[in-house]
Amino acid sequence: MHTTSAQAIDIGVVDWREHASCKGQSTLFFPPKAERPQARARREAKAKQLCDQCSVFDQCRASARQNREYGYWAGESEEDRHLLGFQVSAPIGVRVRLARQAERESA
C-alpha cells in the first residue's frame, strides 16, 4: 500500500526526482539483460517497498505513464502500465509473450 510522507513536495519549485526514495538505486528499477522471471519478481518486490514509502509516488507514477517509461516506476512495471491502457512501445512481458508465440507458430 502506498503512503505519502507528511512532508509535501512543491514540484513547481524543485524537480520531484530529487526527493525520490529510489534516487541512486537504478539497479532495482531497471532490469539487467536476460533477467529471469524469478529474479525480476524479487527485484520488483524490493523496488515496490521503496515506492510504497516514497513522498513523490504520485508525481513518479504520472511521469512514467505520460512519458511511456521503461522499468519499474511508482509500483508499476512497463507491462503493468501497458495492461492499464497506457502506451509503452514494447513492454518486456508483451515482447516475451510475442516471442514465445512466434516460436510455437514456427514449430
C-alpha 57/C-alpha 16 separation (Å) is 9
Domain assignment of residue 87, yes or no:
yes
* pLDDT score for 101: 76
The reply to whether 60 falls in a domain is yes
**Residue 46 counted as domain residue:** yes
The answer to whether the beta carbons of residues 91 and 81 sit under 8 Å apart is: yes
The residue-averaged pLDDT of 66-84 equals 91
Residues 96, 102, 105, 107, Cα dihedral to 10°: -90
Q: What is the pLDDT of residue 48?
A: 96
- The boundaries of the domain holding residue 23 are 16-106
| Per-residue pLDDT at 82 | 86
- Angle between helix 57-66 and helix 37-52 axes, rounded to 10 deg: 130
What is the number of structural domains in the chain?
Answer: 1
Neighbouring C-alpha atoms within 13 Å toward the C-beta of 93 = 14
The answer to the question of residue 48 being in a domain is: yes
Confidence at residue 36, expressed as pLDDT on a 0 to 100 scale: 92
Q: d(Cα 41, Cα 60) in Å, to the nearest integer?
A: 21
Q: pLDDT digits over 6-55, tens only? A: 455 455 556 889 999 999 999 999 989 899 999 999 999 999 999 999 99
Q: Where are the alpha helices (DSSP H) in the chain?
A: 26-29, 37-52, 57-66, 78-83, 92-106
Flag whether 78 is in a domain. yes
Q: Which residue has the higher pLDDT, 87 or 89?
A: 87
Share of the chain above pLDDT 70, in %: 77
- Closest Cα to residue 74, out of 100, 42, 107, 48? 48
* 3-state SS assignment for residue 62: helix
User: Is 69 inside any structural domain?
Assistant: yes
pTM of the model: 0.70
The one-letter code for the residue type at 104 is R
Average pLDDT over residues 69-94: 83
